[in-house]
Amino acid sequence: MLQLTHPISQLVLVLVSLLCTTGCASLPDLAKRHSSYAVMPEQTEHTQLGRFISGAFQIADEQQPRINAGVAVLDEAEASLITRLMLIQHAERSIDIQYYIWRDDTSGLLMLQALQQAADRGVRVRLLLDDIHSTAITPYLHQLNTHPNAEVRLVNPFMPRGALVWGFLTDFDRANRRMHNKSLTVDSQASIVGGRNIGNDYFLRGHTDILFSDMDLLAVGPIVRDISVRFDLYWNSDSAYPLELLEAAPATAPRLPTIDYQPQVPSLQEFFSHTQWYGVQAIVVTDSPSKLLGDAAPEELITHKFKIVLAEPQQEVLLVSPYFIPSEALIQALTDLVHAGVSVHILTNAFATNDVALVHSGYAKHRKALLRAGVRLFELKPSAIANPLVNDDEGEELTFSSVSASSLHAKTFIIDRDRVFVGSFNFDPRSVHLNTELGLVVISDTLAERMAETFIANTPGQAYEVVLNEKNRLEWIERDRAGDVIRVHAIEPETSWFQRLAIGFFSFLPIDSLL
Protein backbone atom coordinates (compact mmCIF):
# COMPACT_ATOMS: atom_id res chain seq x y z
CA MET A 1 0.00 0.00 0.00
CA LEU A 2 1.26 3.47 -0.88
CA GLN A 3 2.16 5.48 2.23
CA LEU A 4 1.95 9.30 2.12
CA THR A 5 4.24 10.40 4.93
CA HIS A 6 5.56 13.72 3.59
CA PRO A 7 3.75 16.70 5.22
CA ILE A 8 3.13 18.36 1.85
CA SER A 9 1.67 15.15 0.44
CA GLN A 10 -0.60 14.84 3.44
CA LEU A 11 -1.75 18.45 3.01
CA VAL A 12 -2.52 17.84 -0.67
CA LEU A 13 -4.52 14.75 0.25
CA VAL A 14 -6.53 16.69 2.84
CA LEU A 15 -7.30 19.49 0.38
CA VAL A 16 -8.33 17.03 -2.33
CA SER A 17 -10.54 15.20 0.15
CA LEU A 18 -12.16 18.44 1.22
CA LEU A 19 -12.84 19.44 -2.36
CA CYS A 20 -14.30 16.03 -3.16
CA THR A 21 -16.42 16.06 -0.04
CA THR A 22 -17.70 19.55 -0.84
CA GLY A 23 -18.37 18.64 -4.42
CA CYS A 24 -20.43 15.67 -3.26
CA ALA A 25 -22.59 17.91 -1.03
CA SER A 26 -25.13 18.27 -3.80
CA LEU A 27 -28.28 20.32 -3.78
CA PRO A 28 -31.44 18.57 -2.56
CA ASP A 29 -34.05 17.13 -4.91
CA LEU A 30 -36.90 19.56 -5.61
CA ALA A 31 -39.35 16.83 -6.62
CA LYS A 32 -41.23 17.12 -3.32
CA ARG A 33 -41.33 20.91 -3.32
CA HIS A 34 -44.83 22.22 -3.91
CA SER A 35 -45.64 25.11 -6.20
CA SER A 36 -47.68 28.04 -4.97
CA TYR A 37 -48.97 31.22 -6.56
CA ALA A 38 -49.99 34.74 -5.63
CA VAL A 39 -53.50 35.45 -4.47
CA MET A 40 -55.55 36.99 -7.26
CA PRO A 41 -56.29 40.71 -6.66
CA GLU A 42 -60.01 40.02 -7.15
CA GLN A 43 -59.83 37.89 -3.99
CA THR A 44 -58.38 40.72 -1.93
CA GLU A 45 -60.23 43.77 -3.19
CA HIS A 46 -62.44 43.69 -0.07
CA THR A 47 -59.53 43.62 2.37
CA GLN A 48 -58.90 46.80 4.31
CA LEU A 49 -55.97 47.66 2.05
CA GLY A 50 -57.91 46.79 -1.10
CA ARG A 51 -60.90 48.92 -0.14
CA PHE A 52 -58.73 51.82 0.89
CA ILE A 53 -56.66 51.78 -2.28
CA SER A 54 -59.70 51.68 -4.54
CA GLY A 55 -61.31 54.49 -2.56
CA ALA A 56 -58.24 56.69 -2.15
CA PHE A 57 -56.77 56.37 -5.62
CA GLN A 58 -58.86 55.92 -8.74
CA ILE A 59 -56.76 54.25 -11.42
CA ALA A 60 -59.36 53.94 -14.16
CA ASP A 61 -59.73 57.06 -16.29
CA GLU A 62 -61.55 57.09 -19.60
CA GLN A 63 -59.45 60.05 -20.73
CA GLN A 64 -56.22 58.16 -19.94
CA PRO A 65 -56.97 54.49 -20.60
CA ARG A 66 -53.33 53.43 -20.50
CA ILE A 67 -52.92 54.34 -16.83
CA ASN A 68 -52.47 51.08 -14.90
CA ALA A 69 -50.83 52.22 -11.66
CA GLY A 70 -50.64 54.78 -8.94
CA VAL A 71 -47.07 55.25 -7.75
CA ALA A 72 -45.51 57.09 -4.84
CA VAL A 73 -41.80 57.83 -4.54
CA LEU A 74 -40.14 56.39 -1.42
CA ASP A 75 -36.85 58.24 -1.31
CA GLU A 76 -36.47 59.07 2.38
CA ALA A 77 -34.77 56.26 4.25
CA GLU A 78 -36.72 55.88 7.48
CA ALA A 79 -40.06 56.61 5.81
CA SER A 80 -39.45 53.79 3.35
CA LEU A 81 -38.98 51.34 6.23
CA ILE A 82 -42.11 52.61 7.97
CA THR A 83 -44.09 52.21 4.74
CA ARG A 84 -43.03 48.56 4.53
CA LEU A 85 -44.05 47.99 8.14
CA MET A 86 -47.37 49.73 7.54
CA LEU A 87 -48.21 47.46 4.62
CA ILE A 88 -47.22 44.31 6.53
CA GLN A 89 -49.24 45.35 9.58
CA HIS A 90 -52.35 45.81 7.42
CA ALA A 91 -51.93 42.56 5.47
CA GLU A 92 -54.91 40.23 5.65
CA ARG A 93 -54.34 37.53 3.02
CA SER A 94 -50.78 37.39 1.71
CA ILE A 95 -47.26 38.81 1.80
CA ASP A 96 -44.77 37.98 -0.97
CA ILE A 97 -41.32 39.36 -0.27
CA GLN A 98 -38.07 39.00 -2.21
CA TYR A 99 -34.64 40.46 -1.33
CA TYR A 100 -30.93 40.11 -1.97
CA ILE A 101 -29.73 41.18 1.51
CA TRP A 102 -31.55 40.89 4.83
CA ARG A 103 -29.45 41.87 7.83
CA ASP A 104 -29.79 40.70 11.45
CA ASP A 105 -29.88 44.29 12.74
CA THR A 106 -32.61 46.56 14.08
CA SER A 107 -34.54 47.05 10.85
CA GLY A 108 -34.04 43.46 9.69
CA LEU A 109 -35.30 42.02 12.97
CA LEU A 110 -38.16 44.51 13.07
CA MET A 111 -39.28 43.37 9.64
CA LEU A 112 -39.03 39.70 10.64
CA GLN A 113 -41.06 40.41 13.76
CA ALA A 114 -43.76 42.05 11.62
CA LEU A 115 -43.82 39.03 9.29
CA GLN A 116 -44.12 36.66 12.25
CA GLN A 117 -47.03 38.67 13.63
CA ALA A 118 -48.70 38.66 10.21
CA ALA A 119 -48.41 34.88 10.04
CA ASP A 120 -49.93 34.69 13.53
CA ARG A 121 -52.94 36.64 12.17
CA GLY A 122 -53.44 34.02 9.47
CA VAL A 123 -51.62 35.84 6.63
CA ARG A 124 -49.74 33.61 4.19
CA VAL A 125 -46.08 34.72 4.11
CA ARG A 126 -43.68 33.72 1.33
CA LEU A 127 -40.12 34.96 1.87
CA LEU A 128 -37.57 34.49 -0.93
CA LEU A 129 -33.95 35.45 -0.21
CA ASP A 130 -30.68 35.13 -2.03
CA ASP A 131 -28.47 32.81 0.02
CA ILE A 132 -25.17 34.66 -0.15
CA HIS A 133 -25.94 36.95 2.83
CA SER A 134 -28.32 34.66 4.74
CA THR A 135 -25.99 33.02 7.29
CA ALA A 136 -26.40 35.52 10.14
CA ILE A 137 -30.17 35.59 9.89
CA THR A 138 -30.78 31.87 9.22
CA PRO A 139 -31.79 30.97 12.83
CA TYR A 140 -34.58 33.54 12.63
CA LEU A 141 -35.56 32.31 9.17
CA HIS A 142 -36.04 28.84 10.65
CA GLN A 143 -38.30 30.29 13.31
CA LEU A 144 -40.49 31.91 10.64
CA ASN A 145 -40.33 28.85 8.40
CA THR A 146 -41.76 26.56 11.09
CA HIS A 147 -44.94 28.65 11.22
CA PRO A 148 -47.78 26.90 9.36
CA ASN A 149 -48.61 30.12 7.50
CA ALA A 150 -45.06 30.96 6.41
CA GLU A 151 -42.49 29.52 4.04
CA VAL A 152 -38.88 30.54 3.40
CA ARG A 153 -36.92 29.69 0.26
CA LEU A 154 -33.29 30.46 -0.56
CA VAL A 155 -31.99 31.16 -4.07
CA ASN A 156 -28.83 29.48 -5.37
CA PRO A 157 -27.92 28.07 -1.94
CA PHE A 158 -24.42 27.07 -0.91
CA MET A 159 -23.73 23.45 -0.02
CA PRO A 160 -22.58 22.39 2.48
CA ARG A 161 -24.32 25.10 4.46
CA GLY A 162 -22.27 28.15 5.33
CA ALA A 163 -19.36 27.12 3.10
CA LEU A 164 -19.34 30.09 0.74
CA VAL A 165 -15.67 29.78 -0.21
CA TRP A 166 -15.98 26.10 -1.02
CA GLY A 167 -19.21 26.79 -2.84
CA PHE A 168 -17.45 29.23 -5.13
CA LEU A 169 -14.51 26.86 -5.62
CA THR A 170 -16.62 23.85 -6.54
CA ASP A 171 -19.58 25.44 -8.34
CA PHE A 172 -18.36 28.87 -9.37
CA ASP A 173 -20.61 29.50 -12.34
CA ARG A 174 -23.80 28.95 -10.34
CA ALA A 175 -22.52 30.50 -7.10
CA ASN A 176 -21.45 33.64 -8.95
CA ARG A 177 -25.03 34.25 -10.13
CA ARG A 178 -27.19 35.95 -7.52
CA MET A 179 -30.80 37.11 -7.23
CA HIS A 180 -30.52 40.89 -6.82
CA ASN A 181 -34.31 41.52 -7.08
CA LYS A 182 -36.13 43.53 -4.41
CA SER A 183 -39.90 43.56 -3.99
CA LEU A 184 -42.59 43.39 -1.31
CA THR A 185 -46.23 42.76 -2.26
CA VAL A 186 -49.13 42.75 0.21
CA ASP A 187 -52.58 41.27 -0.47
CA SER A 188 -51.87 41.51 -4.22
CA GLN A 189 -52.88 45.16 -3.84
CA ALA A 190 -49.67 47.12 -3.19
CA SER A 191 -46.01 46.53 -4.06
CA ILE A 192 -42.72 48.21 -3.20
CA VAL A 193 -40.03 47.84 -5.88
CA GLY A 194 -36.67 49.58 -5.94
CA GLY A 195 -33.06 49.56 -4.84
CA ARG A 196 -33.18 49.01 -1.08
CA ASN A 197 -32.29 45.79 0.69
CA ILE A 198 -33.35 45.16 4.29
CA GLY A 199 -30.87 46.56 6.82
CA ASN A 200 -30.02 49.61 8.90
CA ASP A 201 -27.67 50.99 6.26
CA TYR A 202 -30.69 51.41 3.96
CA PHE A 203 -33.13 52.81 6.53
CA LEU A 204 -31.87 54.08 9.88
CA ARG A 205 -29.70 57.09 10.48
CA GLY A 206 -27.62 56.73 13.65
CA HIS A 207 -27.79 52.92 13.68
CA THR A 208 -24.99 52.31 11.18
CA ASP A 209 -21.68 53.72 9.95
CA ILE A 210 -23.11 54.29 6.48
CA LEU A 211 -26.52 55.30 5.20
CA PHE A 212 -27.23 54.67 1.54
CA SER A 213 -29.04 57.18 -0.61
CA ASP A 214 -31.65 55.07 -2.33
CA MET A 215 -35.07 55.03 -3.96
CA ASP A 216 -38.13 52.77 -4.13
CA LEU A 217 -41.55 53.08 -5.72
CA LEU A 218 -44.78 52.08 -4.00
CA ALA A 219 -47.21 50.90 -6.67
CA VAL A 220 -50.93 50.14 -6.50
CA GLY A 221 -53.41 49.16 -9.20
CA PRO A 222 -53.31 46.54 -11.99
CA ILE A 223 -49.50 46.68 -12.21
CA VAL A 224 -49.31 44.81 -8.90
CA ARG A 225 -50.61 41.68 -10.60
CA ASP A 226 -47.69 41.83 -13.05
CA ILE A 227 -45.22 42.11 -10.16
CA SER A 228 -46.85 39.09 -8.47
CA VAL A 229 -46.51 37.01 -11.64
CA ARG A 230 -42.76 37.72 -11.69
CA PHE A 231 -42.47 36.77 -8.02
CA ASP A 232 -44.18 33.44 -8.72
CA LEU A 233 -41.72 32.70 -11.52
CA TYR A 234 -38.81 33.04 -9.08
CA TRP A 235 -40.61 31.31 -6.20
CA ASN A 236 -41.29 28.22 -8.33
CA SER A 237 -38.00 28.29 -10.26
CA ASP A 238 -35.32 25.60 -10.21
CA SER A 239 -33.10 27.94 -8.17
CA ALA A 240 -35.45 28.40 -5.17
CA TYR A 241 -34.95 25.82 -2.40
CA PRO A 242 -37.19 25.45 0.66
CA LEU A 243 -35.14 26.12 3.77
CA GLU A 244 -36.12 22.82 5.40
CA LEU A 245 -34.63 20.88 2.47
CA LEU A 246 -31.29 22.60 2.93
CA GLU A 247 -30.84 22.19 6.68
CA ALA A 248 -32.68 21.08 9.76
CA ALA A 249 -34.16 23.69 12.06
CA PRO A 250 -32.30 24.17 15.37
CA ALA A 251 -33.69 22.24 18.32
CA THR A 252 -34.36 25.47 20.17
CA ALA A 253 -35.85 28.36 18.25
CA PRO A 254 -33.98 31.62 18.94
CA ARG A 255 -35.88 34.50 20.40
CA LEU A 256 -35.81 37.80 18.62
CA PRO A 257 -33.79 40.20 20.76
CA THR A 258 -35.35 43.29 22.26
CA ILE A 259 -35.55 45.95 19.58
CA ASP A 260 -34.65 49.44 20.78
CA TYR A 261 -36.41 51.20 17.92
CA GLN A 262 -40.20 51.32 17.67
CA PRO A 263 -41.32 53.61 14.84
CA GLN A 264 -44.65 55.36 14.70
CA VAL A 265 -46.46 53.55 11.91
CA PRO A 266 -49.21 55.68 10.34
CA SER A 267 -52.74 54.54 9.66
CA LEU A 268 -53.74 53.95 6.06
CA GLN A 269 -55.82 57.11 6.20
CA GLU A 270 -52.89 59.19 7.40
CA PHE A 271 -50.47 57.69 4.90
CA PHE A 272 -52.66 58.09 1.84
CA SER A 273 -53.69 61.63 2.74
CA HIS A 274 -50.07 62.79 3.10
CA THR A 275 -48.56 60.98 0.12
CA GLN A 276 -48.05 62.42 -3.36
CA TRP A 277 -49.47 59.97 -5.91
CA TYR A 278 -48.91 59.87 -9.65
CA GLY A 279 -51.26 58.16 -12.10
CA VAL A 280 -48.95 56.44 -14.59
CA GLN A 281 -48.47 53.71 -17.09
CA ALA A 282 -46.04 51.25 -15.45
CA ILE A 283 -44.22 48.27 -16.93
CA VAL A 284 -42.39 45.56 -14.98
CA VAL A 285 -38.93 44.78 -16.37
CA THR A 286 -36.96 41.83 -15.03
CA ASP A 287 -34.67 38.96 -15.96
CA SER A 288 -35.98 35.45 -16.28
CA PRO A 289 -34.99 33.31 -13.28
CA SER A 290 -33.29 30.95 -15.74
CA LYS A 291 -30.47 33.52 -15.78
CA LEU A 292 -29.52 32.19 -12.33
CA LEU A 293 -28.54 28.92 -14.00
CA GLY A 294 -26.96 30.54 -17.03
CA ASP A 295 -29.80 29.33 -19.27
CA ALA A 296 -31.59 32.57 -20.17
CA ALA A 297 -32.07 33.40 -23.82
CA PRO A 298 -31.16 36.97 -24.88
CA GLU A 299 -34.83 37.96 -25.13
CA GLU A 300 -35.36 36.87 -21.50
CA LEU A 301 -32.89 39.42 -20.11
CA ILE A 302 -33.76 42.78 -18.60
CA THR A 303 -31.42 44.53 -21.04
CA HIS A 304 -33.48 43.26 -23.96
CA LYS A 305 -36.65 44.50 -22.30
CA PHE A 306 -35.09 47.93 -21.75
CA LYS A 307 -34.58 48.24 -25.51
CA ILE A 308 -38.25 47.46 -26.16
CA VAL A 309 -39.78 49.59 -23.41
CA LEU A 310 -37.50 52.62 -23.43
CA ALA A 311 -36.92 52.95 -27.18
CA GLU A 312 -34.25 55.33 -28.48
CA PRO A 313 -33.73 58.54 -26.46
CA GLN A 314 -34.30 61.68 -28.49
CA GLN A 315 -33.33 64.56 -26.21
CA GLU A 316 -31.97 63.67 -22.77
CA VAL A 317 -30.69 60.81 -20.62
CA LEU A 318 -30.16 61.33 -16.87
CA LEU A 319 -28.62 58.22 -15.36
CA VAL A 320 -28.01 57.43 -11.67
CA SER A 321 -26.02 54.27 -10.91
CA PRO A 322 -23.92 53.66 -7.78
CA TYR A 323 -21.83 51.01 -9.51
CA PHE A 324 -21.08 52.19 -13.02
CA ILE A 325 -18.72 50.08 -15.14
CA PRO A 326 -19.53 50.78 -18.79
CA SER A 327 -18.71 48.27 -21.49
CA GLU A 328 -17.18 49.38 -24.76
CA ALA A 329 -20.59 48.84 -26.36
CA LEU A 330 -22.28 51.14 -23.82
CA ILE A 331 -19.63 53.84 -24.29
CA GLN A 332 -20.17 53.64 -28.06
CA ALA A 333 -23.95 53.83 -27.60
CA LEU A 334 -23.58 56.93 -25.40
CA THR A 335 -21.21 58.44 -27.95
CA ASP A 336 -23.77 57.89 -30.71
CA LEU A 337 -26.49 59.48 -28.59
CA VAL A 338 -24.41 62.59 -27.92
CA HIS A 339 -23.55 62.88 -31.61
CA ALA A 340 -27.28 62.67 -32.37
CA GLY A 341 -27.87 65.68 -30.11
CA VAL A 342 -28.95 63.85 -26.94
CA SER A 343 -27.78 65.37 -23.65
CA VAL A 344 -26.34 62.64 -21.37
CA HIS A 345 -25.68 63.17 -17.66
CA ILE A 346 -24.37 60.42 -15.36
CA LEU A 347 -24.25 60.50 -11.56
CA THR A 348 -22.27 57.80 -9.77
CA ASN A 349 -20.21 57.44 -6.60
CA ALA A 350 -16.89 59.11 -6.04
CA PHE A 351 -14.20 56.90 -4.54
CA ALA A 352 -14.93 58.43 -1.13
CA THR A 353 -18.63 57.48 -1.33
CA ASN A 354 -18.29 54.08 -3.03
CA ASP A 355 -18.73 51.18 -0.61
CA VAL A 356 -16.91 48.79 -3.00
CA ALA A 357 -13.44 50.11 -3.86
CA LEU A 358 -12.85 47.53 -6.59
CA VAL A 359 -15.93 48.75 -8.44
CA HIS A 360 -14.47 52.26 -8.49
CA SER A 361 -11.31 50.94 -10.13
CA GLY A 362 -13.44 49.28 -12.80
CA TYR A 363 -15.20 52.59 -13.45
CA ALA A 364 -12.27 55.02 -13.14
CA LYS A 365 -10.41 53.79 -16.22
CA HIS A 366 -13.39 54.68 -18.43
CA ARG A 367 -13.77 58.30 -17.33
CA LYS A 368 -11.74 59.84 -20.13
CA ALA A 369 -13.58 57.82 -22.79
CA LEU A 370 -16.93 58.95 -21.40
CA LEU A 371 -15.86 62.58 -21.30
CA ARG A 372 -14.48 62.45 -24.83
CA ALA A 373 -17.85 61.06 -25.90
CA GLY A 374 -19.48 64.24 -24.62
CA VAL A 375 -21.06 62.80 -21.46
CA ARG A 376 -21.39 65.09 -18.43
CA LEU A 377 -20.03 63.03 -15.54
CA PHE A 378 -20.73 63.64 -11.84
CA GLU A 379 -19.42 61.85 -8.74
CA LEU A 380 -21.34 62.18 -5.47
CA LYS A 381 -19.51 64.18 -2.79
CA PRO A 382 -19.21 62.70 0.72
CA SER A 383 -20.63 65.97 2.06
CA ALA A 384 -23.75 65.73 -0.11
CA ILE A 385 -26.95 66.07 1.93
CA ALA A 386 -30.63 66.26 1.09
CA ASN A 387 -30.27 65.97 -2.67
CA PRO A 388 -33.89 66.64 -3.73
CA LEU A 389 -35.15 64.79 -6.76
CA VAL A 390 -38.89 65.34 -6.61
CA ASN A 391 -40.94 68.21 -5.17
CA ASP A 392 -44.61 67.84 -4.36
CA ASP A 393 -47.34 70.36 -5.08
CA GLU A 394 -47.23 71.88 -1.60
CA GLY A 395 -43.53 72.63 -1.91
CA GLU A 396 -42.36 69.88 0.46
CA GLU A 397 -39.24 68.11 -0.75
CA LEU A 398 -39.16 64.39 -1.39
CA THR A 399 -35.42 64.00 -0.99
CA PHE A 400 -33.31 61.83 -3.24
CA SER A 401 -30.82 61.19 -0.46
CA SER A 402 -31.44 61.25 3.25
CA VAL A 403 -29.88 63.99 5.36
CA SER A 404 -26.92 61.90 6.46
CA ALA A 405 -26.63 59.69 3.42
CA SER A 406 -23.00 58.90 2.69
CA SER A 407 -23.13 56.57 -0.33
CA LEU A 408 -25.22 56.48 -3.47
CA HIS A 409 -27.23 53.26 -3.88
CA ALA A 410 -30.22 54.35 -6.00
CA LYS A 411 -30.52 52.92 -9.50
CA THR A 412 -32.68 55.11 -11.70
CA PHE A 413 -32.67 56.87 -15.03
CA ILE A 414 -34.87 59.43 -16.70
CA ILE A 415 -35.31 59.55 -20.46
CA ASP A 416 -36.70 62.47 -22.45
CA ARG A 417 -38.57 63.69 -19.37
CA ASP A 418 -41.37 61.20 -19.92
CA ARG A 419 -39.93 57.81 -18.88
CA VAL A 420 -38.39 56.80 -15.56
CA PHE A 421 -36.80 53.55 -14.40
CA VAL A 422 -36.46 52.67 -10.70
CA GLY A 423 -35.19 49.27 -9.62
CA SER A 424 -32.19 47.11 -8.77
CA PHE A 425 -30.25 47.31 -12.06
CA ASN A 426 -26.72 48.76 -12.00
CA PHE A 427 -24.86 49.71 -15.15
CA ASP A 428 -22.15 47.11 -14.61
CA PRO A 429 -21.28 43.68 -16.06
CA ARG A 430 -22.69 41.85 -13.04
CA SER A 431 -26.19 43.26 -13.54
CA VAL A 432 -26.01 42.68 -17.27
CA HIS A 433 -24.62 39.15 -17.35
CA LEU A 434 -24.79 37.46 -13.92
CA ASN A 435 -27.33 38.75 -11.41
CA THR A 436 -31.06 38.85 -11.94
CA GLU A 437 -32.66 42.29 -11.62
CA LEU A 438 -36.11 43.82 -11.25
CA GLY A 439 -37.60 47.27 -11.68
CA LEU A 440 -40.44 49.43 -12.92
CA VAL A 441 -40.45 51.62 -15.99
CA VAL A 442 -42.90 54.46 -15.37
CA ILE A 443 -44.28 56.53 -18.24
CA SER A 444 -45.34 59.89 -16.83
CA ASP A 445 -44.56 63.38 -18.07
CA THR A 446 -45.34 64.83 -14.64
CA LEU A 447 -43.10 62.59 -12.57
CA ALA A 448 -40.26 62.47 -15.10
CA GLU A 449 -40.26 66.25 -15.59
CA ARG A 450 -40.04 66.93 -11.87
CA MET A 451 -37.28 64.39 -11.38
CA ALA A 452 -35.33 65.75 -14.34
CA GLU A 453 -35.65 69.38 -13.28
CA THR A 454 -34.38 68.77 -9.77
CA PHE A 455 -31.60 66.46 -11.01
CA ILE A 456 -30.30 69.19 -13.32
CA ALA A 457 -30.69 71.90 -10.68
CA ASN A 458 -29.15 70.09 -7.73
CA THR A 459 -26.62 67.56 -8.97
CA PRO A 460 -23.83 70.11 -9.67
CA GLY A 461 -23.95 71.25 -6.05
CA GLN A 462 -24.13 67.70 -4.67
CA ALA A 463 -21.40 66.13 -6.76
CA TYR A 464 -18.01 66.82 -8.30
CA GLU A 465 -18.22 67.30 -12.05
CA VAL A 466 -15.39 65.42 -13.72
CA VAL A 467 -13.92 67.18 -16.78
CA LEU A 468 -10.89 67.01 -19.07
CA ASN A 469 -8.63 70.05 -19.10
CA GLU A 470 -6.63 71.35 -22.03
CA LYS A 471 -3.78 68.96 -21.16
CA ASN A 472 -6.13 65.95 -21.36
CA ARG A 473 -6.00 65.48 -17.61
CA LEU A 474 -8.92 64.86 -15.31
CA GLU A 475 -10.16 67.62 -13.02
CA TRP A 476 -12.95 67.63 -10.45
CA ILE A 477 -15.04 70.80 -10.29
CA GLU A 478 -16.57 71.47 -6.89
CA ARG A 479 -19.56 73.79 -6.71
CA ASP A 480 -21.67 75.19 -3.90
CA ARG A 481 -25.44 74.85 -3.58
CA ALA A 482 -25.98 77.79 -5.87
CA GLY A 483 -23.90 76.12 -8.58
CA ASP A 484 -20.94 78.51 -8.31
CA VAL A 485 -17.47 76.99 -8.66
CA ILE A 486 -15.58 77.05 -5.36
CA ARG A 487 -12.62 74.84 -6.22
CA VAL A 488 -11.10 72.77 -9.02
CA HIS A 489 -9.27 69.63 -7.88
CA ALA A 490 -6.32 68.41 -9.93
CA ILE A 491 -6.30 65.04 -8.16
CA GLU A 492 -9.22 62.85 -7.16
CA PRO A 493 -10.80 64.47 -4.08
CA GLU A 494 -10.50 62.86 -0.67
CA THR A 495 -8.13 60.10 -1.77
CA SER A 496 -4.63 59.32 -0.54
CA TRP A 497 -1.69 58.62 -2.82
CA PHE A 498 -1.89 54.95 -1.85
CA GLN A 499 -5.60 54.76 -2.70
CA ARG A 500 -4.95 56.34 -6.10
CA LEU A 501 -2.12 53.84 -6.64
CA ALA A 502 -4.47 50.96 -5.78
CA ILE A 503 -7.17 52.32 -8.09
CA GLY A 504 -4.67 52.44 -10.93
CA PHE A 505 -3.32 48.97 -10.20
CA PHE A 506 -6.71 47.25 -10.08
CA SER A 507 -7.84 49.16 -13.18
CA PHE A 508 -5.30 47.13 -15.19
CA LEU A 509 -6.63 43.76 -14.01
CA PRO A 510 -9.16 41.98 -16.27
CA ILE A 511 -11.81 41.70 -13.54
CA ASP A 512 -14.58 43.95 -14.86
CA SER A 513 -16.81 40.95 -15.63
CA LEU A 514 -16.76 39.93 -11.95
CA LEU A 515 -17.54 43.35 -10.48
Whether 187 sits among the annotated catalytic residues: the reply is yes
Task: Indicate the burial class of 49 (C-beta count within 10 angstroms; 0-12, 13-18, 19 or more).
Answer: buried
Q: Which residues of 422-454 are buried (b: 16+ CB within 10 A; e: fewer)?
A: bbbbbbbbbbbbbbbbbbbbbbbeebbebbbeb
Task: Kindly name the residue from 171, 187, 201, 428 that is annotated as catalytic.
Answer: 187
Task: Kindly name the residue from 75, 131, 416, 428 that is annotated as catalytic.
Answer: 416
Sequence-separated (6 or more) residues with CB below 8 Å from residue 328: none
DSSP letters for 291-306: GGGT---GGGSHHHHH
Task: Kindly name the residue from 180, 305, 360, 366 that is annotated as catalytic.
Answer: 180
Whether 480 sits among the annotated catalytic residues: the reply is no
Q: Please provide the distance, in angstroms rounded to a whole number, between the alpha carbons at the two ends of the chain.
A: 48
Closest CA to 215 of 455, 493, 509: 455
- CA 485, distance to chain mean position in Å, is 33
Return the C-alpha torsion angle 243, 244, 249, 255, nearest 10.
40
For residues 109 and 114, what is the distance between their CA atoms, to the nearest angstrom? Answer: 9
Closest CA to 174 of 340, 295, 293, 261: 293
Task: Indicate the burial class of 247 (C-beta count within 10 angstroms; 0-12, 13-18, 19 or more).
Answer: middle
Whether 182 sits among the annotated catalytic residues: the reply is yes
Whether 409 sits among the annotated catalytic residues: the reply is yes
Amino acid of residue 206: G
Task: Kindly name the residue from 90, 360, 411, 512 that is annotated as catalytic.
Answer: 411
Whether 433 sits among the annotated catalytic residues: the reply is no
For residues 481 and 459, what is the distance between their CA atoms, to the nearest angstrom? Answer: 9
Task: Kindly name the residue from 182, 291, 360, 381 that is annotated as catalytic.
Answer: 182
Whether 29 sits among the annotated catalytic residues: the reply is no
Catalytic residues, by residue number, are 180, 182, 187, 409, 411, 416
